[in-house]
Structure formats: structure tokens, C-alpha cells
Chain A
């Protein structure tokens, strides 16, 4: 056994009941799952309520029950732009959110369409990291092309003070190739690893092509058990040093946190 002695930070998890999968958001259950996986801190979001303030209140309430183990990512939607900017202000200045989570397939225009700009202008001005769902590849996934990884090159160049995190790193092989291409082109693009489509060699591909500084471990808890995602990093053929960075050290930098703030 070679136990890691650096923090393990989950950059991608969710709160809220999911009756369709028989999932409840019980705090004790989350803690047990994180403990079993060896995760110190998990950053949660909620994106399924049409009113973004409800999403952020739900996240805030959850995090407040155990702020040592959880942090919050905010959510807003361009469907209600008139609410989005005030909600961003509330989420980051009152609710202590650490990043913004967006989900482009929920919106009928590409993520780099100008109708998104007011949200990104606010994040750019306030240097808020933006994590976006990304998926690109075969299959019928409604509106997934609106969050194609390659679209973030435009955004990363247009809004250079945002660190852009591509959740799932494109998810499928075509998406992974685009994600790596985007990240190579833009130093403010990061790749996050959770996926239920992750081929053998996907983590190695990221590290070999991009290096290990801009890859972040995520679980997608509770849709995917935290142990599984940690296992993808631990069993990849990459160096110990790279594993430590991906599992937590990189996240510390992106979120401007220190080890003491996240260690349990």
C-alpha cells in the first residue's frame, strides 16, 4: 500500500434527489461514500431547477451542513438573463460559491453564442472559474453539440480571466480529442475526468498530450460512485506525481485553496 499524502478533491458532484435512479441526497450517505473513496472534499452543484436561485439555495443549504467536506458551485441559465447577473452576485458574494457550473445542452444555442456573454463577462471581471458539461461523439444526446469542447477555444480567448473547466473532458473519444486540442491551444482550459464512457487509456492520453497540470479529478457523484472515478486515476499508467496533481493538487490552484482548507 502506498497511501497518498496529498488532498483528494472531487471537482464534480451533485446534490438533489433523483427518483428516476432511486437516489436521495442524504448527507451521511455522501460522507460515507467520500470516506470510502478517500476523498477529502467534494464540490457540489444543482442544475435541474428552472429558477437558478433555487438551485443555489439547495447547494448552499447542503454545504452549510458540512462545509469542511463540501463546497458549492453556482448555477445560472441564460434562459432568464434578467435574473442571472443578480444571482451570480448573490451566489459568489453571499453564498460563498467557488465556481460556476453551466450546462449548454439545456439551452438552444451554442455556448459561445453572444446570448451567453453577459454571464461570462461577469465571471471574467470577477475571475470566477466556469465548469461546463461537455460531450461530443456518436449517439443521440439532445443539444450536446451546444457544449462541444472546441467551442471553448473561442470563449477562453474572449474571456481570458476565466479558468474554463471542461467537465467530462468531452466524454467520448471525439470529445476527448477536441478537449485536448482546446486545452493545448488555451492555457486557461482545464479537463475534468468523470465519465461513464471513459475508454482504457483516456487518462494516459490526457497526461501524455497535455501534461498533468490542468487535469482535475471529478466523480459525478451520486450518478457515479466516487470510488470508481478515483480508481480511474489510481490505476492509470501515469506517474505518482501526476496522480497527486490530478486527484487534488491542481484543484487547489484552480480554486485558490490551501491544503489546510480541504484536509480532514
Chain B
């Protein structure tokens, strides 16, 4: 009866690759401070988190990235992720800020920033991302799949993470992952039945990253779920932290 561990906490180190920190103007979030975020991480055993600022996503990346650096207060468990809009930004000054703040990951949300993810807009930025060996995160909700596919195909040496993948994206997203060997997948919203088996069959354990989409989702459910697939400890570690550590080049 009820073979459920009611006091769950992760058994392996966890590096959450999809956490937002800061207020939004449209609603009151349950958690919007570093302290509350740390508390939520501790509750389920998340050691570190890749953090972006929602203002940078929804409005202005320059101001959002400033807010991000201010809000994480030098907390070493938070790894900052800058947002960028390649259609409007100044690449030189952005690049300088990336260097200064030792940024390893970039986030683009093309639909929210009102540009298409096409080569004639993102080419220079993609070349720079490849040159700097940065990792690019893009939500599955934020681009035209065909445009995305054609653009990423042009940059086979890039490291790109498809995040916010939902069951409604299955018909096009799984073929996309199969087609692009440099595309990784973040699983915060991918909870369809057999979700992990489907991904393991297509991309293998090295291209799957645990993320929560906190605070829009809790950190625990996907982490709990990962511990119930009967996968080996090495696979669990790879998905929960090691894959992200490897592609970012950081140790948590």
C-alpha cells in the first residue's frame, strides 16, 4: 500500500538549471527573494541553481542582468545566467559584462522579446556564443520550430538547451532533439507519461538536464519523479547535476 517516501530529499547532488529570481509586475510570486529560494532548494536537496532575472526576460535584458547580479548577492550557490536580445543589444558591451561577471550561460526568449529566431538576426550572436563556449537556453514556447531548427543547424558547435518543454510540444520537439545533436533538453515541464524513457531513447543520458522552472513550479516534483524511474545512480547524477556542470564548465 502506498509505496511513497513521504519525506523525500534528493539522494544525489542537484544543480537546477531553470530558476527565476526576482519580482514580476503582473502578480505576487510565492517566492521572490534569495533567502526564500535557498530555503526551497534546501527543502528538497538542491545544491546550486542557474538563476536568471524575470525583468531581463520580459523587458530589458541590460537592466535585468544588473538586477540579477545585485539580487544574488554573491551567493555561491547561485550561478548567474544573463538574458540577451540579439536584435537590439550591443554585442561588445554585452560581451564585456559577460566576461566581468564570469557568465557561462545565456538565455534568449525570442517571442517575449519580439524577434524571430532566424539567422539574419541571431547569426552574429550565435558566432560569439560558440566562440566563447557559452551555453544558450531557449524555452520551447518561444520560437517557430522550423526557424529554430534551420538556425541551430548552422551552428553545430553551439551548446543549446531546449527548456520549458511541455507535453503539447511532443510531436515536433522530440524529432527536433533527434535532429540536432548539440541540443540538450531541460525537463521542468516535461511530465508526460514515459517522459524520461522517451528522452533517454532519443538523446541519451548526457543531454538531459534537471530544471524546475522555480518559482512558477516547485523544485520537488520532477526531482521526486527522477528518483522513481529505476535508473542507475550514475544516470541520476548525470541528469541532476553532472551534465550541466560539464556544459557550463563549473563544479558545484
Interface string of B172-201 (1 = CB under 8 A from A): 000000000000000001011111001000
Residue A93 at the B interface, CB < 8 A?
no
Q: Is the CB of B224 within 8 A of A5?
A: no
Q: What are the residues of chain A within 8 A of B30 when measuring CB–CB? A: 199-201, 205
Shortest distance in angstroms between A18's beta carbon and chain B's nearest beta carbon? 10
Determine whether the beta carbon of B2 is less than 8 Å from that of A40.
yes
CB distance from B158 to the nearest CB of A (A): 28
By the criterion CB–CB under 8 Å, are A232 and B220 in contact?
yes
Nearest CB in chain B: distance from A2 CB, A: 4
Interface residues on A, range: 35 or more
Count residues of B near A (Cβ-Cβ below 8 Å): 41
A157 within 8 A of B: no
The answer to whether A247 touches B2, judged by C-beta atoms less than 8 angstroms apart, is yes
How many angstroms between the C-alpha atoms of A14 and B61 in the bound complex? 42
Tell yes or no: B228 within 8 A of A by CB.
yes
A255 nearest CB across to chain B (Å): 16
CA distance A38 to B4 in the complex (A): 5
Complex-state Cα separation, A225 to B189, whole angstroms: 11
A71 to chain B, nearest CB (A): 16
The reply on B96 being an interface residue by CB < 8 A is no
> How does the 8 Å CB contact mask read for A195-212 relative to B, with 1 for contact and 0 for none?
010111111010000000
A22 within 8 A of B: yes
B6 at the interface (CB under 8 A from A): yes
Residue in A closest to B221 when the chains form the complex, CB atoms: A231
Which of B40, B193, B225, B230 makes the CB contact (< 8 A) with A231? B225
Stretch at the interface among A114-122, A145-153, A178-186, A234-242: A234-242
Enumerate chain B interface residues (CB-CB to A < 8 A). Answer: 1-8, 27, 29-31, 40, 43-44, 166-167, 170-171, 189, 191-195, 198, 214-225, 228-230
CB-based closest 9 A-B pairs: A235-B220, A231-B224, A231-B221, A201-B30, A222-B193, A38-B4, A227-B225, A228-B191, A38-B3
Contact sample, A vs B, 12 pairs, CB 8 Å cutoff: A3-B3, A6-B2, A7-B2, A22-B171, A36-B228, A198-B221, A224-B167, A227-B224, A228-B224, A231-B222, A234-B5, A235-B44
Extra inter-chain contacts (12) besides given A223-B167, A235-B44, CB under 8 Å? A3-B6, A4-B2, A36-B228, A37-B4, A198-B218, A199-B216, A231-B225, A234-B6, A240-B7, A247-B2, A247-B4, A263-B1
